[in-house]
Amino acid sequence: MSNFKEDLMKVKAFVFDVDGVLSSQMIPMHPSGEPMRTANIKDGFALQLTVKLGYPVAIISGGNTHAVQKRYEGLGVKHIYLGISKKLPCFEEWLEETGVNADEVMYMGDDLPDYPVMKRVGVPVCPSDAVEEIKSLCKYISDKKGGEGAVRDVMEQVLRAHGKWALDYIW
């Protein structure tokens, strides 16, 4: 693994998967058959703060539910891509749209659909319960599971390294 503290300093944008990252690996099913997801409040605070600070944030997920769209739009995330089976082309389009360099992106994924994007970014990270193939790519493995604060963990580390964490920046 490289020097993660140095990697934190180069992060200028964030991209996250949903299932297994922003939500747990368990997906309860509504009686209607619609999959339901949980969302971690602390992850949500970190996402909202990061967006307010002007960092580009994107969500790219193979899942496609209105609740996910509504949740993250409510936190200010403008780039939400759902129902994406091949994430790398979507990621490349997002880079072009935002002008962000892939080397400056922190991407958190947990499973094989995330692999191509994670090979492309400068700072691949994952939750503690990611699959081994993903862990092998990562510059940092959170001690938190997906949906249980892993997103907050990495975002807080970046913002602290940049001197922009909540207590340092807002109050």
Q: Can you read off the two tokens belonging to residue 20?
A: 């297994």
Identify the helix (H) or strand (E) that includes residue 132. Answer: helix 132-135
To the question of whether residue 7 is assigned a binding role by annotation, the answer is no
To the question of whether residue 17 is assigned a binding role by annotation, the answer is yes
To the question of whether residue 103 is assigned a binding role by annotation, the answer is no
Tell me how far apart the alpha carbons of residues 154 and 58 are, in angstroms, rounded to a whole number: 15
Tell me how far apart the alpha carbons of residues 121 and 115 are, in angstroms, rounded to a whole number: 10
- Secondary structure of residue 57 in the 3-state scheme: strand
Q: Which residues are annotated as a binding site?
A: 17, 19, 110
Annotated binding site for substrate: 19
Detail the residues annotated as belonging to a binding site for Mg(2+).
17, 110
